[in-house]
Each structure stands twice: as structure tokens, then as C-alpha cells.
Chain A
């Protein structure tokens, strides 16, 4: 029988370096560092944006400079110097490609290292990908198939040019420019991102996926994603990230807005595996993301996330259940190791009648990491028969890490039902003993238990993504996931 013990696993976790650390040498078109109105004008000009877009950015910037960086989250980090960041960087090899052959071979090499070979993905998974390397899209596939259905899936900069009426109507409606410090910053300086529109009654035939990567040294990345599902439509959107290993902290402040109109359904899945810093807690990505969805009548928004990377994560994918009978879901696995810190959770705002929300959050902390769940369930007095179920479980590995739960529950409706449960525990010696007794060695037993612990969430991921999610969990908790 293997003598692999939990202590060894811990040790291994501590020594585990970021496996996907590499740096691609692509020439970049980078503007000088710093943040000012001029920088915003340059970004806007580089993208040939119409005047209304520039005005919107400037309005956001003016609110932003009045704001202060929030400090309530249960994380400690050195605040990034926003003046030391370059707010725009685009790969040089323009214009866009029609086929893979034209793509910079070095870039293709990068994707191979990531194990997401485009050809393979195209053939096997049937996934259309809009690849963002340093903020600008360089490859869009399956556009034709989508086009036939009337689905618009393109970089947001393109959408601003070609579908201004849609962007104008919905941008900033779920996350207002002044929502919070980083959302305001994003609104002012966002370089690119994805835009997706599903017309009335259309069921998107494939999973839409975007790979965001941070590449150029010293550039922050500020994506803006806008997904609109028109009445009765359905879309499943996937987002996955890995980033090169790097020493200085990198800031990532994205905004994702989802709009599900009457009877529509949006499924948004994220796998995040940015560079978490090394074993001494040096470096790593700051992930300060604002994600929010708005549900109209009978609509449904489902957030699924697997968070394994980043030095500091600060992320609360939320649902505003505005329409009657709308449904919000949040499934999350957050794994922290070494010196990682995660403060993540969700907000479910029940405004409409018969609205339902489910929150399943699994936190696994190892090493010297801190993992917090912070969530809000708010039931408005008009939201009759609202229903919420929340479950937050934490698993601790080692005695130097911490697991925290900060659920806020605000209810002002007598017909609503709210249930909240949270547990914190470690892998029980009796559980391992039980497995050992039946001939399962300790390593496999731990794998089994962690797998079981996360299963509720992993099951919610689309098939195409589940493989990658498994892979990322493996990297973060190697030796424990079989």
C-alpha cells in the first residue's frame, strides 16, 4: 500500500510551481504607461470608436477618479499602481486571419503548450473560439455557422462599430459605470472583450468559448464582455484563462454583463487558472472582476466557476432576478494554495415574484492560503414566494490556511423561503481509513474525497469544459485528484 499521506500531499502542494508558466515573444503595439483622459482618448481613437463610446468612457473615468479603492474584502495585497500600467497592448500581426495557417506560428505554439490546439478543439469539441491575446481578438472560428442563425459573436470593439444600437442599449445597464472602483476603471479603459447576441427564439447550436490570456509584461487587462440573450433564446458561454509566469503583479479587472430577456437562458462557465504567484507568495495575478446578470421574466442565468489561479481573487458573479419566475444559479469551486487569497461568492437579488436561486460554493484551501465565501441573498418585499438555497462547504488542508464564510441574508418578504448551510472540515481520518480498509491507497482516497466534495459543481460544467476543469484541479491539487 502506498504510504502517501496527507502531509505529503500538503508538501507537494506547497512545492507545486505553476505549470503553465511561459512567455510568448510577440511584437506588441503598446502605448506608454499611465492613466489619464488622454490615454482613454488614445485607446478610443486606436479602436476608431464613435463619439458616444468615447463620451461613455470619459464619463466612467470622471466617476472613477472620485472613487477610492475598496478595502472591505478579506484579502491583503499591495495596491496596484494604476499609473504604472499600460492600458493598451495589441499583437502586431494585423489584420485578422481567415484560417489558422496565417496565424503567427509562435502563437500557435503557445496554444499547443496550453493543450488547447485550435485544430483539435475545432474538430472534436465543436467549439467556436474567439481568442483574445492581450485584449485584441486574433482568431474567430465558426462565425459562419453562427451567422446563419443570426447569432452575433464577435469582439466588442467590432460590435461597437457594427452593432452600435445593441451595444448602446445594453452596455452598462447591468453594471453601471459607477458600480464599483474596478468596474469604473474597466468602463473607462476596456481594451476589448467579447460581444454576443442571440436573437429571439434561437438556441445557440454550440458552446461559445473565449480564451483570455494575459501576455505582454506590465499590461493590465481590462476585458468587457456583453452577452445578450433575446426572448426565448439559449446560450452556453465558456471562458477559460491561463497566464504566463511572471514576477510583478498583474492587474486584471474585467466586467461581464449578461442580459437574459423573457424566457431566455444563459449559462456562463469560467475556468480560471492565472498565475498564482510562486511558493513564497511572490507575483501572481490580481483578479478583480465584476460579473453580473439580469434576468427578465422566466429567464435563467447560471454561473459556474472553477477558480484555481490568481494571487488575489475578488469576484462575485451575481444575478438580479428582476422578472417574475426567473432563476439564478451559482456553482463555484475555489481552490487556493500557497499564499493565494480568494474572496469570492455571489449576490442574488430577488425582485420578481416566484424567483428562485441556488448557491453551491465549495472552497478548498491548502498551504498558507485564505479562502473566503462572501455572499448576499436579498429578498425584496415584492418578491413573493421567492426561494433560495445556499450551501457553502470548505475543506481545509493543513493548519496554516484559513476558510471563512460571510453570508449576508436580507429578507423582507413573509412568503419567501431561505435556507443557508455552511460547513468547514478537513478530510476525515475515518474516511481515509474506510477507503484504506477497502484497498484504496491514501492518495486515491484523498482524490476520491476531493472529487466527491467538488462533484456537485463539476457536474454543472458543460462536457467540453469538464475535461479542462479536471485538469486545472489536478494542477492545483496534484496528487489529490485522480
Chain B
């Protein structure tokens, strides 16, 4: 049975389980039709020219995980930024785990998508925002058709959320191969601030495929600081689709740290729909083996006087493959735009590959748009300098690589995340140093 057939037959099973009277369900049929038409993206499509999803979709995934998988806090503590107090929305095999989570409804809502989709209390928000921003490509549509669970974050006006919100999806691997469709909605009101950390983590050696869709709405003067930590096991693949809508004077910062996973595709779309918006898209990728990480970013400037800043630092070893496909689009009326895009890559091995396609599409004349892309190696002289001063070769290399990636880390606002990422980098580079020399 092909993947498409499986999806179609599974949808009938889904309809028996969910409330078919909701607004969300009315979107499902259309989305399914859309997926049926578009299917899984093929390499002949320009957007997937360098990333083949064939190996990811040829497995026999279970779309409905078994219920009630119990895991203890001690099992997962190391995957959380446990040093800090945070709101936590934790899912195990796509199902909400109440005893691991800490949600709230006090001043704002940090809770579950399932309750938001089914509870009439949230109807107005859902109808205003849900699926209004996500792109309508095959994979996003697949998510819309099957999405039932995820994080629902709604912050009203004038609220600075006092602690970060951590969203973590665990998969236990009780299924032979599992595919999940997490769906997050983040709505941040005027003058409000929020920090969010998102992570997908497999706990077993079975195949896991995550097809996640996140929609983020930042109202006037809102500030959103979003961190994606991707350090999954090698049996896990992630297809992430994140779209951001920004209104006047809002600021959205999104960091993506890709260290793990077999295949990772990050579709990141920023739409600036107000003046004086500020967007920051930063990323660090360090991969080896046969890992594949694809960053596909779009910043659409449709209003004047905005800024966007992108910086992606990537290191590839062994047979790793990296793709960077960045696009900056400036509409005719969007004058006085300052857009910057930088993509620096280091290839450590001869078998590693990087395919970069930094694009600019500019229709306005009074703009400053630039992009830079480099591919190179570590500086042999710098390595020699350090070695001649008694630093081991491995450590010297690690130091240089860390320094290379550090400019991205500097914009991380949560110190605990910074130190966690630093440790992950040290582990990834197989050295035991703290980089705080």
C-alpha cells in the first residue's frame, strides 16, 4: 500500500475518533483533498531539489499511536531545560502527558490544541487564527488533515510571560514506526512578550517521523523569542513547517539548533504585515554521518521600514548533506527595507556536501538587501598556532568551530539555553571543554 493510500484509509479511521462538528474538522477534508492532489514533495520540485523525502516516506508508519504510554520525569529530565522554571507542555507519542506538564489558564492560555479545537470557549481564536498562516503545500495539508494535538498558546494584551514555555514531543517507540502530526498555535497580543522552546525527541530506536506545523502570530509591538532544539536520535526525522505573521513594530526571533536526526527539513516563513517589524532567523547546524539538514527560509517584506536578519552557521562532517535555501522577497511598496542574510559553511570531510541557494527577489528600489554565502575550511594556520601552544588538535579544531558558530549563540537571550547548546556542541565535537576559556 502506498503512503498516499494509507493516508486515505487512515483518515476514515480518524473520522470515527474525532468530533466531526468542529471548525477544525471542516478544514480536515479540504486539507486531505489538497494532500491527495499535491502528495509528498518530489525532487523535481524546485523547493525539494536537494532533499529527497523518498527514504523517509518508504516506511510503514503507524499514524495512531497506542494510548497511555507512561514515562517518568527522571527519564526525560535531561531533555528539558530543567535548570529553569518553565511552563511545560509535554507530549508522549503525540498524546498530552498531564503529569509531566505544567500548563496555565490564569492570565493567559498555555494548554492543549485538542481542548482548544474542541472547546467552544476557544472558537473565536481558532476561527481567527487556526490554519490561516500555514502554507498549503502537501505536507502542511497532511498535518492539517490529521492534526489533533499540540501546544496552544494564547497571550492577551500587555502581558510579559514571566517564564519560558517549553514544548516537548517525546516518542517512545512502542510502535515499530510512528508518524506524528503535531500542531502548535501561538498567538501573542499587543505589547506582550513570550519565550518558547520547542523540541522533538525520540526515546527508542524505532523509526519516528514528525511532520510538525507551527503558526505564530505576533500583534503590534509583541515580542516572541523562539528556540528550536533539534538533537534527536538518528532514527528520527523531522519535517517542520513554521510560519510567522508579524504586525507593526513586532519583533520575532527564531533560533534553530540542528545537531541530531536523520533528515531534518525546516521550512521557516516570515510574513511581515506591518511597518517597523524586526525579524531574526538564526541557526547553527553541526552534523555528521549520513545526516541531512535542510533549512528553507522565506522572509516576505510587504510593508516599508522593516528589518530582517538571517545568520546560519553550518558544519558538515563525514557524508552529511546540508541545504540552505534562503529567500528574501521585498514587495514594491516595502521601501526602506534592511534585509541581511548570511550563510557560512565549513566542510570537514570530502564526502560532505552543501547546497546553498540564497535568493533575493526585490521589487522596491529604496532598500538595502544583501546576502553572503561562504563555504570553506578551518584555518590551518590558526590550528597550527594553537597546537604550537599545547592545545590538542581535536580541541583546537573544536575551538575554531565553536568560535565559528558563536556569533549565533550570542543572540540567545536565555543563558541556560546558551550553556545547554554550548554543551551540546562540545559533545557533538567530541571534546570535553567548556568553551569559556
Contacts and interface: CB of A to CB of B under 8 A. Distances in A.
Interface of A: 72, 379, 381, 384, 394, 396-426
27 contacts: A394-B360, A396-B362, A398-B365, A403-B360, A405-B371, A406-B357, A407-B373, A409-B355, A411-B354, A412-B347, A412-B351, A412-B352, A413-B347, A414-B352, A415-B350, A416-B347, A418-B374, A419-B373, A419-B376, A420-B356, A421-B371, A422-B372, A423-B368, A424-B362, A424-B367, A425-B367, A426-B366
A399 B356 contact: no
A409 B332 contact: no
Contacts of B377: 414-415, 417
A406 B335 contact: no
A424 B334 CA distance: 14
Contacts of B371: 405, 420-422
Contacts of B345: 411
Contacts of A421: 370-373
Contact of B361 (A379, A396, A404, A409): A404
B369 interface: yes
B122 interface: no
Given A412-B352, A413-B347, A426 B369 contact: no
A381 B347 contact: no
Contacts of A379: 375
Nearest to B378: A414
Given A399-B365, A414-B377, A422 B357 contact: no
Q: Give the interface SS of chain B, mostly helix, strand, loop or mixed.
A: strand
Interface residues of B, number: 36
B359 A406 contact: yes
A362 to B, nearest CB: 14
Given A409-B375, A414-B377, A418-B375, A403 B350 contact: no
Nearest to B366: A426
Contacts of A394: 360, 362
B352, B362, B365 pick with most chain A CB within 10 angstroms: B365
A18 to B, nearest CB: 24
Contacts of A422: 358, 360, 370-372
Contact of B355 (A406, A408, A420): A408
B375 A407 contact: no
Interface string B329-348: 00010010000000001011
Interface in B151-204: none
Contacts of A402: 361-363
A423 B353 contact: no
Nearest to A388: B375
B366 A399 contact: yes
Interface string B85-103: 0000000000000000000
Interface in B293-339: 332, 335
Contact of B360 (A72, A384, A405, A414): A405
B364 interface: yes
B339 to A, nearest CB: 9
B52 to A, nearest CB: 15
Nearest to A391: B372
A424 B366 contact: no
Given A405-B359, A411-B345, A420-B372, 14 more contacts: A396-B365, A397-B365, A401-B365, A402-B363, A403-B362, A407-B359, A409-B373, A410-B354, A414-B347, A417-B377, A421-B370, A423-B369, A424-B369, A426-B367
Nearest to A381: B350
B360 A426 contact: no
A248 B94 CA distance: 62
B358 A407 contact: yes
Contacts of A406: 357, 359
Interface in B35-62: 46, 50
Given A411-B354, A412-B353, A417 B375 contact: yes
Q: Give the interface SS of chain A, mostly helix, strand, loop or mixed.
A: strand
Nearest to B335: A399
Contacts of A381: 350-351
Contacts of A72: 46
A228 to B, nearest CB: 33
A404 to B, nearest CB: 5
Contacts of B373: 407, 409, 418-421
A415 B366 CA distance: 39
A381 B349 CA distance: 10
B135 to A, nearest CB: 20
Q: Which 7 A-B pairs have the closest CB atoms?
A: A396-B365, A418-B375, A420-B373, A412-B353, A414-B347, A409-B356, A405-B360
Contacts of A426: 365-367
Contacts of A409: 354-357, 373, 375
B376 A417 contact: yes
A112 to B, nearest CB: 39
B133 to A, nearest CB: 25
A198 B96 CA distance: 76
B365 A404 contact: no
B359 A411 contact: no
Interface in B375-402: 375-377
A453 to B, nearest CB: 14
Contacts of A405: 358-361, 371
A135 B373 CA distance: 43
A413 B369 CA distance: 29
A419 B374 contact: yes
Nearest to A393: B370
Contacts of A416: 347, 375-376
A414 B358 contact: no
A418 B314 CA distance: 14
Contacts of B349: 414
Contacts of A423: 368-370
Given A408-B355, A409-B373, A414 B365 contact: no
A397 B364 CA distance: 9
Contacts of B375: 379, 409, 411, 416-418
B360 A404 contact: yes
Contacts of A407: 356-359, 373
A399 B363 CA distance: 7
Given A399-B335, A415-B377, A417-B376, A408 B362 contact: no
Contact of A420 (B46, B352, B374): B374
A413 B360 contact: no
Contacts of B352: 412, 414
A87 B352 CA distance: 48
A403 B361 CA distance: 6
A424 B328 CA distance: 11
A297 to B, nearest CB: 22
A381 B352 CA distance: 9
A441 B358 CA distance: 38
B354, B362, B367, B371 pick with most chain A CB within 10 angstroms: B362
A418 B376 contact: yes
A355 to B, nearest CB: 15
Contact of A425 (B46, B358, B368, B376): B368
A406 B371 CA distance: 11
A399 B367 CA distance: 10
B79 to A, nearest CB: 32
A407 B369 CA distance: 15
Contact of B362 (A404, A417, A420): A404
Nearest to A423: B370
A362 B336 CA distance: 21
